[in-house]
């Protein structure tokens, strides 16, 4: 198997995850341009190397064994604002995007402030909060497929739903996204209000990967877990946050199995108590795909 010279072996994935969990990737590289992403994906395809695209590592639970393939860290990070059209690289911070657009008096992405995702990750998962979703003001997405070919998808070409996008059924990488925002003198105040509320209600100081479970239709997963009395429940080093019940935090030395076992226990106890089955929102990345 041929390897590109900038591939790094045995990169600890816990260093790239907000959960601080994960063994080593067999191969690792960073890409900073669309052209680099095309070259890396084309190479991985020709050499039959399994790959995983990583953004901020804020929604991924890596195995303690690591990943038996190539982890590609998407660092395509640029931002262009032309009147109300916002063009951002997939590696750009989604939270900073919410801040910068609000400061420019552009409304629609205020909810992004405080979401620890990349733009590409937000598009891939259709991240949302406060009644808004990434898809709402999205105009187009540039995507590189597994062979390294470049595609530009308009909004009408794509399917989105609650924590779902059609990119979850495509092999490749989101490399940029364009949004058409709205003029809003109140955007900055709204953004500040959102971030202040999140800091009060979510465990920002603890290692986590955000909300673990999707909200059932018309309900709050966090409220169901709290109602079942599971705040503070722990398995090994993993613990249900005492501040927000839909967060599992790494209390120190937690492994992926601790998190999974705790999540399964929460699912079972909530279903036993309420009859509702919670569905996982986080992505569990196995050692082998």
Q: Which residues are catalytic?
A: 163, 211, 281
CA distances in angstroms from 59 to 55, 74, 237, listed in the order given:
9, 15, 18
Write the DSSP assignment of 94-142 as a string of letters: HHHHHHHHHHTTEES-GGGTT---BHHHHHHHT-EETTEEGGGGEEEEE
User: What radius of gyration, in Å, describes the C-alpha atoms of the chain?
Assistant: 19
Q: What is the Cα–Cα distance from 136 to 126, expressed in whole angstroms?
A: 9
Other beta carbons within 10 angstroms of residue 47's beta carbon come to 12
106 and 183 in contact (C-beta within 8 Å)? yes
CB within 8 A of 32, min separation 6: which ones?
75, 76, 77, 91
Nearest to 143 by CA among 117, 94, 178: 178
Nearest to 1 by CA among 40, 46, 38: 46
Strands 8-12 and 24-31: antiparallel
Half-sphere exposure (Cβ direction) of 279: Cα atoms closer than 13 Å: 8
């Amino acid at each position: 198997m041929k390897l590109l010279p900038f591939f790094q072996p045995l990169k600890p994935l816990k260093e790239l995850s907000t959960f601080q969990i994960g063994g080593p990737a067999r191969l690792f590289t960073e890409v900073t341009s669309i052209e680099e992403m095309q070259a890396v994906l084309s190479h991985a395809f020709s050499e039959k190397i399994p790959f995983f695209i990583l953004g901020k590592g804020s929604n991924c639970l890596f195995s303690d064994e690591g990943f038996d393939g190539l982890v590609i860290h998407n660092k395509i990070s640029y931002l262009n604002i032309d009147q109300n059209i916002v063009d951002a690289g997939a590696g750009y911070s989604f939270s900073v995007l919410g801040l910068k657009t609000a400061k420019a008096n552009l409304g629609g992405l205020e909810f992004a402030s405080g979401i620890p995702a990349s733009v590409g990750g937000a598009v891939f998962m259709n991240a949302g909060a406060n009644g808004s979703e990434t898809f709402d003001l999205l105009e187009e997405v540039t995507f590189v497929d597994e062979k390294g070919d470049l595609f530009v998808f308009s909004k009408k070409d794509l399917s989105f739903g609650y924590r779902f996008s059609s990119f979850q059924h495509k092999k490749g990488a989101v490399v940029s996204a364009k949004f058409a925002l709205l003029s809003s003198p109140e955007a900055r105040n709204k953004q500040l209000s959102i971030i202040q509320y999140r800091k009060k209600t979510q465990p920002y100081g603890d290692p986590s990967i955000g909300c673990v479970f999707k909200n059932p239709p018309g309900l709050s997963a966090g409220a169901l877990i709290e109602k079942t009395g599971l705040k503070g429940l722990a398995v090994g080093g993993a613990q249900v946050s005492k501040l927000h019940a839909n967060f599992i935090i790494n209390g120190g030395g937690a492994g992926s199995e601790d998190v999974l076992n705790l999540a399964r226990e929460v699912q079972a106890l909530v279903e036993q108590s309420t009859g509702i089955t919670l569905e996982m929102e986080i992505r569990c990345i196995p050692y082998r795909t």
